[in-house]
Amino acid sequence: MPRKFNRSINYDDEDDGYDDYDDYYDDDDEEAPSSVKHPYRASGASELGKALFSPLPPWKLKKTTLVQQVSDDDAVKDSGILTRIEIMGQNKSVYVPSSPQYTGVVPFKFDYPSPDDKVRASNSGTKGNAVKAPVKAAAVKSKDVAKTVEAQPKKPKASANLSNVGSSNHKEASNAKLKAAELGASPKEMEGAEPQVLEGIMHMTLEGDYRERGKGREQTPALQKPIEAFIPESWILEEIKQERKPLLHLIVIGHVDAGKSTLMGHILHLLGRVSQKEMHKNERESKQKGKGSFAYAWVLDEGSEERARGVTMTVAVAHFETPKLRVVLLDAPGHRDFVPNMISGAAQADAAVLVVDASLGAFEAGLDGEGQSGGQTREHAQLVRSLGVEQLIVAVNKMDAVNYSQKRYDFIKGSLHSFLRQCGFKEAAISWIPVCAMEGENLIAPPSAPALKSWYSGPTLMESVDSFEQPLRNTLKPFRLIVAELVKTRSLGQAAVSGKLESGALRIGSKVLVMPIGEIATVKAIEQDGHPLTVALAGDSVDVGLTGVEPAVLISGGVLCHPDYPVPVVTKLEIRVLILGITVPILRGGQVVLHAHHARESAKVAELVALLDSKSGAVVRKKPRCLTANQSALIEIIPERSMCLEVYSQFKALGRIALRDGGKTLAVGIITRIISCQ
């Protein structure tokens, strides 16, 4: 708001609105005295206009403070103001220094800071228009010093500890004087300065120094409480003791048109999760559109655009059970345009099913790509492993297209095995299952086709899924729920989110902190697969309804967390990455897209810190000029907007990242250090 100056103008509320245009003196009357003559006297201007353009009265110095009598040459030398004032009835030349600490006059300031005040405050490290206390002037014992007209009360002396700083430690005093000289004080000004002044200068910092601007001052984020100090509540310990069927998040990945949606849609139908009426409807509608083979795929591809294009675009979620597990099925898109959605789904996964097409040419296209650096079979396998998936099933689909050939199956297995081992999958964690999605061969029952039954006697696909082990859950850590998407239902309300609990526990009535906005909300309702719950533990994928918060502050990629243990909102981070098969080197200052759990932001490569040995992790070279394919390195990243992230060693799900650009994955890695945060 602009400031308004009140120059003692009196406004009469009873004016008729025309009196302001009357002259002070009528032309026929006597001439106005010279003391009130004014160039705008007869101009017809209003009182307000005359007041605005009239000269201000001269300022009068009401009090004189500590002025020093010097010669004209000294005044010119010190760039001061040499003036003559009357002291004790005599005119003397006195020197008034330009430094404010000698005048003792506090500059005028408004009640509210102006934009200029804020700029000065940011440059000097202060807040608002606060003015630092001026450095106390040295006591000058000279007969040529003029004392103040009105003696000011003396301040009490400092404590003994402070008063002995200057006398007991000459080294600190000299250092203080040197720092004072850096701040612009002359040696004369520091003569005889009190010890507490010297100590104050020693602790003075120039946070707004122009030399530090643009360098991105590093700052280690501090949680309100250390995570190690978290003590679970009694109700959490009681819930852990109760027996529950293990929950597993299973993602289905692979190249486009490998038959992922058809495979899982047929399994859901065989398990009774899809009614016969719904399947009949899908068959009829798919035939009407000339896509009769998509009937099972439409169980998961429910969007009109997905059905029109014939490809999965978003991650479809379904639930089913095996004898040992409760499974949350995540059907990821295979087209390269929707890899970001696939990353979002893989961030929740505990295990994966990699579907490959056994047809001639189709498998090769998914692995090596068609004139590209690689297909989505290769990219998906690298991404899921970097996002924490360790258990994998390779489902060799469409075996009917090659007459259930064992030779073709062995060729695919041999081609993929070495690549999956390079990705980091262990030998014992990989299962190989030949299937046929359309015919239902080897899905939940042993194969019936003679050509397949003659050489394969292993487990079915569902038996392999049932053999997966549930990963360890961080139930005893502070609560974290990563928001996957926003939902709106009648039971949950308008402010509701869906996501997976990565740690801790949640119950109705719990207080949660919504990040990155930082607002407190209350849990109103909890649902899982449409069924209401009272308590959710780490590993559960649930829908949560909230109260006390607006729906607009809820975003995908945000985090609901414990109010006393908030997740850092990161603005700069250090990551350890493995560079994939890129053709263009990564340079300092390059632009990338940073993917982490369900969040993605444009980011800049701020620094190439070091090149690492891919096996031992030792530093090979510091600050390399560029990063090329298959190298391991430490780099610093600055996202355009802050993101909710954690160091990998504390929360693995919040500490995994992927760097992409131009529709290709450049690197995958983990967060090693948070440099700065909000």
What is d(CA 612, CA 623) in angstroms, rounded to the nearest whole number? 11
Q: Which among 524, 474, 461, 525 is positioned nearest to 501, based on CA atoms?
A: 474
pLDDT tens-digit map of 502-520: 999 999 999 999 999 999 9
Beta strands in 416-489 (DSSP E): 430-434, 480-489
Q: Which domain holds residue 431?
A: 247-466
Q: How many CB atoms lie within 10 A of CB 231?
A: 7
What is d(CA 230, CA 535) in angstroms, rounded to the nearest whole number? 19
Identity of the amino acid at 43: S
Same-domain pairing of 634 and 650 = yes
pLDDT of 228 reads 82
Identity of the amino acid at 593: V
Beta strands in 479-518 (DSSP E): 480-489, 493-503, 505-507, 511-515
SS3 at position 391 = strand
What is d(CA 104, CA 408) in angstroms, rounded to the nearest whole number? 93
pLDDT band for position 367 (cuts 50, 70, 90): confident
Alpha-carbon dihedral sign for residues 321, 546, 652, 621: positive
pLDDT band for position 146 (cuts 50, 70, 90): very low
Q: Which residue has the tokens 């998914």?
A: 366
- Which token pair is 590? 């390059």
pLDDT tens-digit map of 425-467: 999 999 999 999 999 999 999 999 999 999 999 999 999 999 9
pLDDT of 116 reads 64
305 pLDDT higher than 60 = yes
What's the CATH number where 648 sits? Answer: 2.40.30.10
Same-domain pairing of 344 and 432 = yes
| 660 falls within a domain | yes
What is d(CA 111, CA 418) in angstroms, rounded to the nearest whole number? 72
Give the distance, in angstroms, between the CA of residue 166 and the centroid of all CA atoms in the same chain. 47
**8 Å CB contact between 580 and 659:** no
Among 466, 498, 516, identify where a domain stops: 466
Task: Name the domain count of the chain.
Answer: 3
| 224 falls within a domain | no
Alpha-carbon dihedral sign for residues 636, 642, 648, 652: negative
Same-domain pairing of 270 and 309 = yes
| 410 falls within a domain | yes
Q: DSSP letter string over 164-180? A: THHHH-HHHHHHHHHHH
pLDDT tens-digit map of 29-79: 444 444 444 444 445 556 666 655 655 555 444 444 444 444 445 444 444
473 pLDDT higher than 50 = yes
Identity of the amino acid at 144: D
What's the CATH number where 439 sits? Answer: 3.40.50.300
Enclosing H/E stretch for 504 = none
Query: How many residues does this entry show for the chain?
Result: 678
SS3 at position 337 = helix
Same-domain pairing of 489 and 634 = no
**8 Å CB contact between 509 and 592:** no
Same-domain pairing of 328 and 268 = yes
Q: Which residue has the tokens 């852990």?
A: 240
pLDDT of 661 reads 93
pLDDT tens-digit map of 570-603: 999 999 999 998 989 999 999 999 999 999 999 9
Q: Which residue has the tokens 């974290």?
A: 480
CA distances (Å), origin 456, targets 40, 515, 626: 109, 51, 49
| 61 falls within a domain | no
Beta strands in 97-203 (DSSP E): 145-146
Among 413, 443, 466, identify where a domain stops: 466
What is d(CA 203, CA 449) in angstroms, rounded to the nearest whole number? 84
What is d(CA 361, CA 607) in angstroms, rounded to the nearest whole number? 42
What is d(CA 218, CA 572) in angstroms, rounded to the nearest whole number? 9
Same-domain pairing of 577 and 649 = yes
CA distances (Å), origin 555, targets 343, 497, 620, 644: 17, 9, 40, 11
pLDDT band for position 121 (cuts 50, 70, 90): low
pLDDT of 588 reads 94
| 73 falls within a domain | no
Same-domain pairing of 314 and 432 = yes
Same-domain pairing of 425 and 293 = yes
pTM here? 0.67
Same-domain pairing of 322 and 377 = yes
Who contacts 94 (Cβ-Cβ below 8 Å, separation ≥6)?
67, 68, 69, 70, 82, 83, 84, 85, 87, 146
User: Where do the H-state alpha helices sit in 529-604?
Assistant: none
| 119 falls within a domain | no
Please report, for the chain, how many H helices and E strands are present, in that order.
Answer: 18, 29
Among 409, 431, 466, identify where a domain stops: 466
| 49 falls within a domain | no
| 428 falls within a domain | yes
Same-domain pairing of 310 and 334 = yes
Same-domain pairing of 555 and 588 = no
Identity of the amino acid at 236: I
Same-domain pairing of 517 and 629 = no
